[in-house]
Amino acid sequence: MNDRQMPPVPLSEGAETVDVAVNIFAKPFQTALSLLSLLKHSGEHVGVIWLQFEPYGSRYDAISPYYIARYLREELDERCEVFQPNFWLAREAVDPARLDDPDYRLGIRYQYAFEQSRSRKLFLMHNDVLVLRDILGDMLREMGDAFALGAVGQCWNCPARREELTREIMGCGACGPLHYTEFRPDYEALCRLYALARQRGIFVRPYDEGFAGMFDAQPWPLPECRVSEWACLLDLEKTRPFCTPQGPAFTPGAFRRCGTENLDTGVAWFRDMHALGLRARHFELTRYLKHWVGTGNKTPRRYALAESNALGLLQRQYPQYLQWLTEQSGEAFLSQAEVE
């Protein structure tokens, strides 16, 4: 098989499969590269791909982001589901009082797949990654009894990552992804960690302004603890019965207000699942994916460069998709390198 071509992706007899959920906001070339590279390296483990489109594209896009959905529907038929919610929750905190309204609730990231998938497990993935090897096969082998597997923690934003702070306040070493379950400050210690970090000029997000009513009752997991949803595998059988609309817990794509800021994607869900006694597991992603961080439509130059880079990779690795795209759109596509 030519390594530059997308391999066929039939369901392999005997191979465990999982559904895949991707939330799509613009980035048409990065989206295509994300999905085609996942199918290339982990196709035998992919069940149904659920594409949840946000209603607005970027004014910098060369083509519609919906082309990749059409392509996958032709290639995979019923194994590609496409959904666009009637209500769009961008980075707004979820209003619990409105979660009984399906139109509102299905605006949460990944929510449609979370509710509708019949798979035992669901893989969440951003639409701006490049898969380098079989991530799903290795994740399935590593997951064990965890409710979620992926990169644990946004430790770079957390005061608990700084040993000089944890030693002074708690008399212990710093927290980290591999031992986050062992680092459990009480509420007073958590408040002191944030206060001391700010006093010493160490960046922390101002979550401590909203600790009362949330972290005073449940100080652990910490405000930056989550499984990063740019690539994570979660157990639907373990978690879905407890989450909206079936239960009171938040779902993986939800933001929750904390002071003047929102807790990041999935933090509320992560905390709710741990309150039930479930545990996550850290999985080092750097060998498996490249992630283009911060290429949203508010940064036009970086966005254009990321899209151009993705187009160049598509030209080299998935020329059959670009040939199809040219035939369907009537456009010829040149990367920035070719233009120059």
Span 271-305, pLDDT tens digits: 999 999 999 999 999 999 999 876 665 678 888 89
pLDDT score recorded for residue 143:
97
Residues 6 or more apart whose CB falls under 8 angstroms from that of 81 comprise: 48, 49, 50, 51, 113, 116
% of the chain at pLDDT higher than 90 = 82
**Three-state SS letters, 210-244:** HCCCCCCCCCCCCCCCCEEEEEEEEEHHHHHHHEC
Q: What is the mean pLDDT of the chain?
A: 92
What's the structural domain count of the chain?
2
CA 23, CA 265: separation in Å to the nearest integer?
12
pLDDT, average across residues 89-97: 92
Say if residue 126 is in the same domain as residue 162.
no
pLDDT score recorded for residue 68:
97
* Predicted TM-score of the model (pTM): 0.93
Q: What is the DSSP letter of 45?
A: G
pLDDT score recorded for residue 100:
96
226 pLDDT above the threshold of 80: yes
29 pLDDT above the threshold of 50: yes
CA 267, CA 218: separation in Å to the nearest integer?
13
199 pLDDT above the threshold of 80: yes
CA distances (Å), origin 277, targets 219, 230, 238, 239, 266: 15, 24, 11, 11, 17
pLDDT score recorded for residue 295:
61
66 in a domain, yes or no?
yes
Identify whether the C-beta of residue 266 lies closer than 8 Å to the C-beta of residue 91.
Answer: no
CA 250, CA 89: separation in Å to the nearest integer?
14
Say if residue 166 is in the same domain as residue 35.
no
**Of 214 and 338, the one with more pLDDT:** 214
CA 167, CA 174: separation in Å to the nearest integer?
8
pLDDT score recorded for residue 331:
86
pLDDT, average across residues 325-338: 79
117 exposed, middle or buried (CB, 10 Å; 0-12, 13-18, 19+)?
Answer: buried
Confidence of residue 336 (pLDDT cuts 50, 70, 90): low
CA distances (Å), origin 292, targets 172, 240, 319: 35, 30, 22
68 in a domain, yes or no?
yes
231 pLDDT above the threshold of 60: yes
For residue 275 the two structure tokens come to: 């309150």
pLDDT score recorded for residue 7:
44
pLDDT score recorded for residue 333:
82
Is the torsion defined by CA of 190, 196, 202, 208 positive or negative? positive
Say if residue 112 is in the same domain as residue 74.
yes
128 in a domain, yes or no?
yes
Q: Measuring CA to CA, which residue among 329, 327, 336, 333 is closest to residue 64? A: 329
CA distances (Å), origin 184, targets 156, 189, 312: 18, 9, 46
167 in a domain, yes or no?
yes
Domain of residue 109, residue span: 18-137+227-245+280-291
Say if residue 116 is in the same domain as residue 26.
yes
Q: Give per-residue pLDDT as tens, 106-146.
A: 999 999 999 999 999 999 999 999 999 999 999 999 999 99
51 pLDDT above the threshold of 90: yes
CA 210, CA 258: separation in Å to the nearest integer?
5
1 pLDDT above the threshold of 70: no
119 in a domain, yes or no?
yes
CA 24, CA 127: separation in Å to the nearest integer?
6
103 in a domain, yes or no?
yes
3 pLDDT above the threshold of 60: no
Confidence of residue 8 (pLDDT cuts 50, 70, 90): very low
Q: Which residues pair with 282 in a beta bridge?
A: 150
339 pLDDT above the threshold of 50: no
